[in-house]
Amino acid sequence: MSATEEAIEHSAARLRAAGPPPRVALLLGSGWAGIAARVQQAVDIDYAELPAFPLLGVAGHAGQVRLGTLGGTPVMVLAGRKHAYEDGACDAMKGAIRTLAASGVQVLVQTNASGCLVPGRRPGELMLVSDHLNVVQRSPLLHEAGASREGQDSRFIDMSAAYDPALRALALRVATERGITLHEGIYAWVLGPQFETPAEIAWLRGIGAHAVGMSTVPETILARHAGLRVLALSMHTNMGAGLSDETLSHAHTLASAQAAGARGVDLLEALFAAFAHTLPALP
């Protein structure tokens, strides 16, 4: 067993020791932290106690796992992710994602903050990710060694339905029932940490992106490779450069996300309440 496999097994064992493993994990991006307060019967474990998990260095990401129930559904909430822009590595969440799978998780719900590329929308609106553009053209599976399943190289995973269609349909139904506007669109992953230029935003719009951000895509690739179903929700915290006269900064992103967070938190809680009744029957 490699050191990485040992770290994953130790981390999974630590999580299982805290209680029955949930089927759903929730990975929180900027602006979505308020949902953690709605988790009932909460048990917290710091990332530092889980050797397969990364240490975080970005404001707004706590670095903690919270186990409990949300809307009646057992959940494992990951408060924060490590981004590729921190040290250039796009596989920083590999150990964490594989720990989820080893712990019995079957569904990963991701959240993020994004820049909106659709004129007419406003910061604070929500978008369901239907697909993504890996603009960086980097993969967290690049340095896999000896990864094979039934004689096949498992790195060549099918990404044609990366964001689970049945889960997306459920999220849209829940949003409609709650009277919450939920757009659907394509998320473009850029490396960052600098924000995009107006020319880059125009190019991204031209190739079909509806939102842009610096996360989510590596985790989706890792999750699909681990056999997890993925759902992703994005909160627009600003308009892309050139689409408004606002000055972009990380502090601005966090402030906008905090101001709009209640709507996203309400949608997540309603979605997890629906999971309690619907998830076992989903195809």
| Residues assigned a catalytic role | 30, 61, 83, 85-86, 113, 214-215, 238, 250
**Apex 208 CA angle, 203 and 213, nearest 5:** 75
Distance (Å) of CA 244 to CA 120, 123, 197, 225: 11, 11, 12, 38
Backbone conformation region of residue 95, classed left if phi is above 0, alpha if psi is from -120 to 50, else beta? alpha
**Nearest partner of 240 among 209, 196, 281, judged by Cα:** 196
Distance (Å) of CA 262 to CA 2, 222, 234, 257: 43, 29, 14, 9
| Cβ contact 235:181 at 8 Å | no
3-state secondary structure of 72: coil
Strand partners, 74: 69
